[in-house]
Structure 1
Amino acid sequence: MRRRAVGASRRAATGWLFVGPSTLVILGLSLFPAGWAFYLAQLKWNGFSPARGVGFRNYERMVDDPDLASAALHTLFFTLLYVPTSVFLGLGIALALNRRIRFIGLYRTAIFVPFVASAAATGILANYLFDPQFGFVNNALRRVGLPAQRFLEDPNQAMTVIALMSLWASLGFTVVVYLAALQDIPRDLVEAAVVDGANRWQVFRHVVLPQLTPVTVFTTIWQLIGSLQLFDLVYTTTRGGPVESTKTIVYYLWEQAFKQLNFGYGSAVAYVLFAATMVITLGMIVYSRFAKVQAF
């Protein structure tokens, strides 16, 4: 027994020798910025003049900040557009790609390529496609006799365009996750349902879909977190315009911290967003546990 304990301790020590340095680096890059931001959230500081402690006044200020409320509504609108569409469309494309057809590998690769593209490339593509004067989409609309649209220059259309481009850029991840889950479903369950007389819809509804429920919970949480953190595509396309119609929470806190040099207030907004994201995520996890959906 003592030899086994010593052997196990040695193996554990060897493992930590390999993962220890990278673990320390990851923790340092995560915990230190988080602690520094928490400290800044209790200060009024522009980076040059001496910092002044204000306690929790930065958090109190958020209650009466109409610009923050507007940014929160824009973020909510984007989330309602983006998250359900990405989950349902990702499932549909995964079902279409879960077949033995010619060039299936090419199709699966093509759907995943936008996911690895940078936000800058996606923003450049969005500006090219939806330019009001020379964009590809407006040229296509003119050819079929439809009026040209302003898209990213229209306050009523800009956020929808950003949601479409975000969907294009990140849909590949959802498709790949669903595709892996579909291929992991035991064939015996499907064949047994077919033998019992179930048609395709019944097989999908009563066999396939329940097996995919944990994946659906996971992808929903993943996409929800990404939608609440929307910044890069807004920065590379509209810069929060037109008329601040695409200014999200993260873009707003970036403006406060790095344009107006309100580091304390920007850090407070970031912490509130982190808390809201954590509460929503934990709520979905707890609900999935009570519903007996083991997604995590």
Structure 2
Amino acid sequence: MALTFAATPRTRSPETPRPRSSRGRAARRSLTGWGFAGPATLLVVGLSIFPAVWAFFISRTKWNGIAPATDVGWRNYQRIATDPDAIAAAQHTLVLTVLFVPASILLGILIAVALNQKIRLIGFYRTCIFVPYVASAAATGILASFVFNPQFGAANEALRRLGLPAQQFLESPGQALIVICLIALWGEVGFCAVIYLAALQDIPKELVEAATVDGAGKWRVFRHITLPELRPVTVFTAIWQTITAMQLFDLIYTTTRGGPMNSTQTVVYYIYELAFQTQRLGYGAAVAYLLFAVTMLLTVVVIWYNRRSGSGAF
């Protein structure tokens, strides 16, 4: 009689400790991971977190960068509320944000829908839209200064050929901020278009096909299917573009330097003038921390509302 024995796998009881060899392998894997991530972590801490903490302590002092700092407590923060230059800079930043963010989102959606079509040379068109975003912002500002020059700029030349009066553009206090917004849109709309294009290609085709079979036209499909599917991307893009508008500096520095008559002086450029031109480092750091607090608060509110509404962007 042949006897057969069923092999039963050995199981380790929960109380059995792990072998030392397994612990050694886990420790080696952890050390290997930190070996790759450690330098980058130290770089981030050294170039961002440590300066940010140090700037907070500077914001509570009166310091010109040379003489010993004098502790003034929260006096710098209290002074911001009564500073007319800071209030004007905040107003200019708010106007720029209100103009820039909705326009960039709307143009991004329209361009993404156009680039989502099956046409010839579509890869070339997509590249052309994205090139201004990866180009240097300083180079964009310098180029825009020539384009919108009141005397020999291409913009006024186009207006003359159309029989329209020439404009002052960047040299007009009433037009300079709008022109800055247009330049920023030219450089940033490619980012929005690429984000929305990726989101459009991620929409399930079955939803569009089912709506088309049910008799829905292109507009109804776009309104009732495409736009709701793009809502999480829109929340992310709105936050990103708001931060971009509130921290806009390079275009202003290379075009107007805050002029004419401080009409394009935003909060970030005002911080630059305080810290590096008038050497009021303590007060400049206080304004910078206030801008950080406003940006963080706005971001948290948008994320909270997004999670409450259930759109799923974050």
Q: TM-score range by the shorter chain?
A: over 0.9
SS in 2 for 1:230: coil
CA-CA distance at 1:15 after TM superposition: 2.2
Relative to structure 1, the CA distance from residue 8 to residue 288 in structure 2 (aligned partners, 3 Å threshold; closer, same or farther) is farther
| C-alpha separation in 1, matches of 2:131 and 2:271 | 30
| C-alpha separation in 2, matches of 1:241 and 1:78 | 15
Of residues 254, 262, 265 in structure 2, which corresponds to 1:244?
262
1:268 and 2:304 matched: no
Of residues 112, 118, 122 in structure 1, which corresponds to 2:140?
122
Gapped regions of structure 1 (runs ≥ 5): none
TM-score using structure 1 length: 0.97
CA-CA distance at 1:98 after TM superposition: 0.2
CA-CA distance at 1:48 after TM superposition: 1.5
Q: Deviations over 1:232-263 (max 9, x none)?
A: 10010000000100000000011011100000
Relative to structure 1, the CA distance from residue 187 to residue 9 in structure 2 (aligned partners, 3 Å threshold; closer, same or farther) is farther
1:88 aligned partner, one-letter code: L
1:174 and 2:192 matched: yes
| C-alpha separation in 2, matches of 1:16 and 1:197 | 57
| C-alpha separation in 1, matches of 2:52 and 2:209 | 51
| C-alpha separation in 2, matches of 1:210 and 1:144 | 41
| C-alpha separation in 1, matches of 2:245 and 2:286 | 20
1:285 aligned partner, one-letter code: I
State the match for 2:34 in structure 1: 16
| C-alpha separation in 1, matches of 2:171 and 2:292 | 30
Between 262-271 and 26-35, the greater mean CA deviation after superposition: 26-35
1:207 aligned partner, one-letter code: I
1:26 aligned partner, one-letter code: V
| C-alpha separation in 1, matches of 2:91 and 2:118 | 44
Percent identity, aligned pairs only?
61
| C-alpha separation in 2, matches of 1:50 and 1:23 | 32
1:183 and 2:201 matched: yes
Larger helix fraction of residues: 1
SS in 2 for 1:55: coil
CA RMSD of the aligned region, Å? 1.4
State the match for 2:240 in structure 1: 222
CA-CA distance at 1:10 after TM superposition: 4.4
| C-alpha separation in 2, matches of 1:122 and 1:27 | 31
| C-alpha separation in 1, matches of 2:235 and 2:34 | 32
| C-alpha separation in 2, matches of 1:45 and 1:153 | 34
| C-alpha separation in 1, matches of 2:66 and 2:43 | 29
1:206 and 2:232 matched: no
Of residues 63, 71, 76 in structure 2, which corresponds to 1:58?
76
| C-alpha separation in 2, matches of 1:285 and 1:265 | 30
SS in 1 for 2:230: helix
| C-alpha separation in 2, matches of 1:8 and 1:224 | 43
1:194 aligned partner, one-letter code: T
Of residues 38, 44, 49 in structure 1, which corresponds to 2:62?
44
Between 43-52 and 83-92, the greater mean CA deviation after superposition: 43-52
CA-CA distance at 1:8 after TM superposition: 5.1
Gapped regions of structure 2 (runs ≥ 5): 1-11, 13-17
| C-alpha separation in 2, matches of 1:245 and 1:280 | 25
| C-alpha separation in 1, matches of 2:268 and 2:115 | 35
| C-alpha separation in 2, matches of 1:184 and 1:117 | 27
Larger radius of gyration, structure 1 or 2?
2
1:93 and 2:96 matched: no
| C-alpha separation in 1, matches of 2:234 and 2:130 | 18
CA-CA distance at 1:14 after TM superposition: 2.6
1:168 aligned partner, one-letter code: W
State the match for 1:79 in structure 2: 97
State the match for 2:15 in structure 1: none
**Runs (4+) of structure 1 moved beyond 4 Å?**
7-10
SS in 1 for 2:118: coil
1:233 and 2:233 matched: no
CA-CA distance at 1:87 after TM superposition: 0.4
Q: How many residues align?
A: 296
TM-score using structure 2 length: 0.92
| C-alpha separation in 2, matches of 1:203 and 1:269 | 47
